Amino acid sequence: MRLSRYRPRLALAATMLAVLAIPACGSESGSTQPGKSSQRPTHGPVKDKKKVAQDAYTAGYNRGRAVRDAGGKGSSVREVVWGGCTRRALSAGQEAEGDRGAWVSGCLDGVSENAKHLPSSQVTKRTNDQDLLERFKAWLSGTDKRPMTAHVNRLALVELHRSDYDIELTTDYPSTGDDHSAATDLAQSFVTWWDGDDGDGTTWNVVVRGTDGEKLATDRL
């Protein structure tokens, strides 16, 4: 699915040495996305956003250093070029949930052996994309998964670090009961629909959230 602000994944490998040589800025959250998209608020009091971001960054940094110490330079390639840090953030629990972008930024700095660059504000940016949501629903309607369209009410582009993104689908699935399997099925359907052409950035994962914002399912893109 071609989006003009994404970059092909393979192109990142050619610039790996430059990425490792340049410290990643944990406070950078990217440029404002144009169009009709709107900013999605994040959880937690505004006054705590700086501390939440810095705590998430520090946790990610420590994790990145541990990965580097265990795997050497090769681990940096996996984490920076192939999205290792973005995927680790999804399994890092509450230490990353508060500001996943800050956690990813810290992980990238840690695994690259860069100095710490604590963010001064929230790093993660969520931008609603109604057009992309409608295109996905239109495709879904032509499959045997059509009933799922009634449960998806929002699609957000989640900017984590510079050109690294995830996609989040917000649903009306509750966080308890059998709807975890429905959420997993929805995530897998999105992966099937997504064609892998990320354009000028890299979209790594799809995350399905329930009515209370809880993460119900994830899958790789």
- Condensed to tens digits (0 to 9), the pLDDT of residues 40-87 reads 444 445 558 999 999 999 999 999 999 999 988 888 888 888 889 999
Query: Which stretches of the chain are DSSP H helices?
Result: 9-13, 16-21, 49-71, 73-81, 84-90, 94-97, 100-111, 130-141, 179-193
Check whether 187 has a pLDDT greater than 90: yes
Q: How confident is the model at residue 15 (pLDDT cuts 50, 70, 90)?
A: very low
pLDDT of residue 77: 83
pTM above 0.85, yes or no: no
Task: Dump the DSSP string for 39-71.
Answer: BPP-SS-GGGHHHHHHHHHHHHHHHHHHHHHHH
